[in-house]
């Protein structure tokens, strides 16, 4: 018997996956060999551990949870803002800051074909999420006279389409050599009995295994070595679906570096106890993020003496990581979270079955799973309206429409704050969109007002 096939049979029997043998029997030699290699690539120990976690889920110990300290951006003096921003600019000018965007998702939930970053949220300019982010980074790069390396984590599902989109748009003016694409890892989908699912008779159904794989993926792709070669000391992390993200925000960069903890994070206040966002806290004295469905009921409604939610720091996935922290934990395995999802699958005949109800487990690790390895996390409480416009749903809350309106409202506020008389210019009833190339965060409005008016189609 072929050594590879024998090894696979032993694995399948050991981990109670004998149904896979039915798929193997039906394949020609070439397809059979490909499936064998897929099976051998699976970390069955981690897979079993994740399944065991489902069976023995523990309730969070209330006594182990306490609030996390933070600083409020709205209480900084002008001197503090200037000090942190200048430190951020120093690091940007020195080429010590890199940016990573987690962009492995598809836009199918939004009714959009293709990678989520290619989505047009119906701004007057028609710019995609990727273009908005590229132009903001270009703004900073030009002002710092130093191009900021942009690490773009894709998934096997959207990797080629993402690169093609960048190529077709000439990288939005960004230097091609500073757009570094790499793929995140995957894990197989499993049904509720713990059996591997197939996407075709010769292909196991592998799905992206969460943004917590980014450290490992940076390492295995060579991107981490690229950071070391460039002399990057801090990495700014964000999700592609935040339409208003202030990527590489100089003030936040400088704030993080000034405290020099290995992790720094931006947070916003929860709008109410039921909001479906994870919360920053301490667990057994270490930095931690509780997912919204993990917060014990006894803590959900609790408030402090100021009437604020005890666990009210919403995690919006905007972080700074020190390079040495990433390097130290890039090969460290964190536990997987298990989520029940609706996942299509194939039977041995190749018939694709589309379930009406959640039928399978998707295994994911999250970036915040690394937080407990840091002794302390620096937290900056920022304003939701200026920092967080997620695009998660096709309609309603956190949709392209709400993100679009938030951007347009913010840009009108920039104009008003700069002393621009909207009524006098005939702009009070118009949509106002300000190019990120003109203003990163509301600065330079007066100097660029002629360009802004021209971009609104007005004379």
Identify the bridge partners of residue 361 per DSSP, sorted by sequence position.
190, 340
pLDDT at residue 54 in the model: 67
pTM for this one? 0.93
Nearest-angstrom CA–CA distance, 24 and 16: 15
Structure tokens at 200: 């075709």
Tell me how far apart the alpha carbons of residues 418 and 82 are, in angstroms, rounded to a whole number.
18
Q: Provide the 3-class DSSP secondary structure of residue 415.
A: helix
Q: Produce one character per residue of 101-125: b if its CB has 16 or more CB atoms within 10 Å, e if not.
A: bbbbbbbeebebebbbbbbebebee
d(CA 321, CA 409): 31
Closest CA to 98 of 294, 289, 235, 266: 235
Alpha-carbon gap, residue 373 to 287, rounded angstroms: 8
In tens, the pLDDT along 322-345 reads: 999 999 999 998 888 888 889 999
User: Are 245 and 440 contacting, i.e. CB atoms less than 8 angstroms apart?
Assistant: no
Determine contact, residues 171/137, Cβ cutoff 8 Å.
no
Res 458: pLDDT: 43
Question: Residue 116 belongs to what H/E stretch?
Answer: none
**Per this entry, what is the length of the chain?**
459
Domains of the chain: 1-41 (no CATH), 59-398 (3.90.550.10)
- pLDDT at 1 (0 to 100): 46
Q: Tell me how far apart the alpha carbons of residues 158 and 170 are, in angstroms, rounded to a whole number.
A: 18
What are the backbone angles phi and psi of residue 313, rounded to the nearest 5°?
-85, 100
* Predicted pLDDT at 449: 80
The number of beta carbons lying within 10 Å of the beta carbon of residue 457 is 8
Instruction: Give how far Cα 351 sits from Cα of 198, 200, 227, 345, Å.
Output: 10, 8, 45, 8
Residues of the chain with pLDDT under 70: 1-3, 54-58, 457-459
The pLDDT, as a whole number, for residue 55 is 65
The pLDDT, as a whole number, for residue 46 is 85
Output the six-digit token pair for 254.
Answer: 């400088």
Distances (CA, A) of 250 to 145, 230, 310, 321: 14, 19, 30, 15
Q: Who's near 16: CB < 8 A, 6+ residues apart?
A: 194, 195
Task: Kindly report, residue by residue over 141-176, the tens digit of the pLDDT.
Answer: 999 999 999 999 999 999 999 999 999 999 999 999
CA angle 248, 254, 257 (to 5 degrees): 105
């Amino acid at each position: 018997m072929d050594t590879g096939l024998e090894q696979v049979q032993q694995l399948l029997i050991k981990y109670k996956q004998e149904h896979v043998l039915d798929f193997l029997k039906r394949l020609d030699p070439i397809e059979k060999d490909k499936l064998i290699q897929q099976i051998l690539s699976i970390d069955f120990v981690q897979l079993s551990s994740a399944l065991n976690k489902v069976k023995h889920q523990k309730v969070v110990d209330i006594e182990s949870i306490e609030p996390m300290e933070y600083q409020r951006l709205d209480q900084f003096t002008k001197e503090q803002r200037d000090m942190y921003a200048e430190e951020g600019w120093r690091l940007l000018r020195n080429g010590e800051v890199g940016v990573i965007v987690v962009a492995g998702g598809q836009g199918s939930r939004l009714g959009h074909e293709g990678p989520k970053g290619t989505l047009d949220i119906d701004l007057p300019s028609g710019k995609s999420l990727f273009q908005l982010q590229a132009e903001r980074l270009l703004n900073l790069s030009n002002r710092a006279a130093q191009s900021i390396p942009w690490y773009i984590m894709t998934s096997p599902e959207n990797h080629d389409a993402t690169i093609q989109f960048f190529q077709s748009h000439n990288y939005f003016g960004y230097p091609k050599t500073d757009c570094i694409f790499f793929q995140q890892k995957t894990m197989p989908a499993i049904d509720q009995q713990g059996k591997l699912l197939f996407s075709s008779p010769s292909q196991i159904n592998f799905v992206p295994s969460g943004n917590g794989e980014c450290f490992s993926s940076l390492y295995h792709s060579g991107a981490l070595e690229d950071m070391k070669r460039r002399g990057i000391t801090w990495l700014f992390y964000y999700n592609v679906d935040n339409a208003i993200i202030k990527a590489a925000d100089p003030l936040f960069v400088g704030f993080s570096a000034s405290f020099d903890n290995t992790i720094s994070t931006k947070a916003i206040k929860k709008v109410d106890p039921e909001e479906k966002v994870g919360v920053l806290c301490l667990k057994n004295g270490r930095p931690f993020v509780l997912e919204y469905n993990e917060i014990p009921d006894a803590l959900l409604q609790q408030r402090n003496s100021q009437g604020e939610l005890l666990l009210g720091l919403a995690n919006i996935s905007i972080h700074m990581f020190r390079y040495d922290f990433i390097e130290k934990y890039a090969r460290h395995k964190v536990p997987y979270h298990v989520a029940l999802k609706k996942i299509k699958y194939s039977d041995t005949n190749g018939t694709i079955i589309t379930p009406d109800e959640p039928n399978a487990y998707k295994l994911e690790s999250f970036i915040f799973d690394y937080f407990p390895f840091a002794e302390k996390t620096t937290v900056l409480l920022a304003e939701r309206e200026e920092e967080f416009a997620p695009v998660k749903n096709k309609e309603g809350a956190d949709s392209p429409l709400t993100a679009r309106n938030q951007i347009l409202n913010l840009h009108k506020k920039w104009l008003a704050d700069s002393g621009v008389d909207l009524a006098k210019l005939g702009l009070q009833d118009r949509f106002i969109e300000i190019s990120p190339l003109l203003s990163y965060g509301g600065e330079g409005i007066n100097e660029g007002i002629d360009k802004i008016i021209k971009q609104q189609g007005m004379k």
